[in-house]
Structure 1
């Protein structure tokens, strides 16, 4: 039946308007992904399986699971399948596909999964198996969904994490939950409450990471990095199996096992979830010299405070009397600062007056990191140095919101410290380490704040080295870090 569901998907998906998909946060599961997800459930001795598929769509995931059972992959005597689907256009197909499994007791529920489950409370529903490709859409802070979730103790910002939290909460002890979801929950402050929720109620057993961003849901043009995760309700946490493949063909899958302390670092208050892709720890993890926090170093990191669309009336394309430099990522490179940039599509300056002065910083040396990289960028962390000499006699600067800046109490850094910090952040080891917990193209100030750094003295040595070597390569940068932190 999975192949039938997939053929219906190929026929129906192009007919669904993008606006309709966006309204429900729909991204249909390709058949090879569904089959792989169904294969991740461990064998068990249960006589009765109680299966949940929330946001079931056309039923690809349920069909993949039931096909495995029908083909002898599970020893259940009976299966009771519950499927939630809000979309009337898909539910008829879903009912038809599940009806072909005559041995299965099927319950298809029409309506909004979040509203229905939260209205009834989070008691154990006895689900032994849960398979999910939940909808992906942000939840506004005062929306009905957010308030309903809050009433049952779930605080989260996206439909996908809400579906997973509800599934974990209502599964039976020992219940297995397999879900394909965006990797964005692994880090950042917005998903902290969700991470705490699932880590307190379940054990992570398995994670699969795709090397390519754009292959899994290519029919829906999804460029979010996705992960497949298996959780065990009320499980005792142990080692975690991590697999990787280039794409959803799974033809080059690599399997490794890691202790849980490599997945969630014991001392991390944010409980970031790392997805290591190599058995060997990198320089950042191995070196005892890289263990300082920004607080230890007397450095702070902040998001650029100038949100251009909110201060539009004060922005100027080119400098004029009464303005000061406004710095965007376009003004920065690995080699220095260029300002102003003629014909830049962004403003080069901002008026300095009573309305804007609170957003401005004194001119000086700063290390800055771009908050966003392009979808297939080779590097996730890209640091530059703001050099005050580029701005003439201007005494203050504006930093646009697409930058994170390192500073000392809203003042610049010593030159060698700024340069050394940029060198360190541009090393391959930092980028590899960062990718273990950051699953999207955004680099948050919180992420940078929680990283470990070399000592202030080591950073200044890096700064002195790079100042004396005007042309450096990636290999030179990586080698220099290894020398200083050995």
Structure 2
């Protein structure tokens, strides 16, 4: 880093009066950071074009503003914010890495903003609620759950980026604005439900801008994450939320088309999942899966805790074991001879409370990426013997979280076909930005009434392996009849 600092001093003359040096410092620091150091601090430094996009979301103000750059890195976000702000604005930056903090100081000197760089932990540095603008690209690491104190009580968080965002919002003055470059995963899932509840209660969600690719925004850092720009302001909720879906790093958001929506129209269920689109009209009148008397649970076998009961060949009293590989296109199969995974468990599984009863279910793979043809990948499972499901699969049944009750086969077929439709795929892409297909989210999935699911099953026998086009055609016809 010492050589990098010397290079920065030499470049300052070349870049007087421009933002070129700011980007040069960022790029050079990224190249100099070791893999271990990036891992330790989750240092994915913001590219210049993404920084410019984020800053463009702030409301123009002719008056000087107080800026906070939280987790500043080399200071590119704070510098972009300062350059776009009125003369006389001031900047405070917090950065835990001393070497990067020194580079941030050089960055801010170059752009000529009155500034203070605090070398410390953003979660423990004392920050008064005086800032007009807070900008941040926080680390994205999962953490042991902690609770952060705020004016409205304690907020439990289990990820560093959520913790940073709590600190950022708390540092805003009334009416102040915050723009964050964060993963989209906070918008859904049970883990983030308390955080969402708190955020909606203290802020106005003003702008949601989701990138179309999981890698283009931080291409030089090899980050594979569904990232978004979030703008909030410390006031009552505005009448509309501006939503940009599928943006690219080079887009000028000031001239980019977007949709305005009422926040309540984007929220789903009691856990307040936040969508990126208003729900399709064909789904609007349908009850959720949970309201329909169905339930989604997660497979009970965690394989690495139960290695001693796994069997690679059947034995007396052995039970079938279903992995994601067994959950094929629309119908599960067992045993899967091509699999390297053990296909059975011994009878000790009964004592581990992992065995499911005889009957029919819809299996859903818990992991899928944005790039896959289908986010929700369902398979019908009809078993004539008790069996075990791996923890990487969800399963739909008609019991409760404590009591698994299988579905009638025809109903299980209808549920499987429904979940394989384009309508469900689009719905899930609008509510989930993570690779996990959460049971919590699936419980909020709109689903036709049972008589309609049975009609779908009769029109689409699983044994016929109906095409996606045929599934969509039948389901659209059934829904249109329901909505008449």
**TM-score w.r.t. length of structure 1:** 0.89
Q: Distance in 1 between matches of 2:174 and 2:341?
A: 55
Report what 1:106 is aligned to. 115
The correspondence of residues 34-433 of structure 1 with structure 2, limited to 5 A, is 34-45=51-62, 47-69=63-85, 76-102=86-112, 104-117=113-126, 124-141=128-145, 146=146, 153-250=154-251, 253-265=256-268, 268-276=269-277, 281-286=279-284, 288=285, 291-353=286-348, 356=351, 358-374=353-369, 376-388=371-383, 395-409=385-399, 410-433=404-427
Q: Does 1:8 align with 2:25?
A: yes
* RMSD between superposed Cα atoms in Å: 2.1
- Could you tell me how far 1:54 is from its partner in structure 2? 0.3
Q: Could you tell me which runs of 5 or more consecutive residues in structure 2 were left unpaired when the two chains were aligned.
A: 1-17
Q: Could you tell me which runs of 5 or more consecutive residues in structure 1 were left unpaired when the two chains were aligned.
A: 70-75, 389-393
Task: For residue 353 of structure 2, give the secondary structure of its aligned residue in structure 1.
Answer: helix
- Could you tell me how far 1:53 is from its partner in structure 2? 0.4
Task: For residue 123 of structure 2, give the secondary structure of its aligned residue in structure 1.
Answer: helix
- Could you tell me how far 1:237 is from its partner in structure 2? 2.5
- Could you tell me how far 1:172 is from its partner in structure 2? 0.6
Q: Distance in 1 between matches of 2:388 and 2:157?
A: 33
Q: Distance in 1 between matches of 2:60 and 2:349?
A: 67
Q: Distance in 1 between matches of 2:251 and 2:355?
A: 50
Q: Distance in 2 between matches of 1:336 and 1:205?
A: 43
- In structure 2, the CA distance between the partners of 1:468 and 1:19, relative to structure 1 (3 Å rule), is closer
Residues 244, 254 of structure 1: 8 Å contact kept: no
**TM-score w.r.t. length of structure 2:** 0.89
Residues 283, 429 of structure 1: 8 Å contact kept: no
Moved more, 16-25 or 178-187: 16-25
- Could you tell me how far 1:17 is from its partner in structure 2? 1.8
Moved more, 428-437 or 292-301: 292-301
Q: Which runs of 4+ in 1 moved over 6 A?
A: none
Residues 284, 430 of structure 1: 8 Å contact kept: no
Residues 417, 459 of structure 1: 8 Å contact kept: yes
Aligned residues: 456
CA deviation string 1:141-162 (max 9, x = no partner): 3xxxx25559961211111111
- In structure 2, the CA distance between the partners of 1:48 and 1:374, relative to structure 1 (3 Å rule), is closer
Task: For residue 111 of structure 2, give the secondary structure of its aligned residue in structure 1.
Answer: coil
Q: Distance in 2 between matches of 1:283 and 1:442?
A: 26
- In structure 2, the CA distance between the partners of 1:39 and 1:411, relative to structure 1 (3 Å rule), is same
Q: Does 1:438 align with 2:432?
A: yes
CA deviation string 1:305-362 (max 9, x = no partner): 0110111111112322331100011112224222112241211111122664521011
- Could you tell me how far 1:217 is from its partner in structure 2? 1.3
Q: Distance in 2 between matches of 1:15 and 1:310?
A: 40
Residues 165, 197 of structure 1: 8 Å contact kept: no
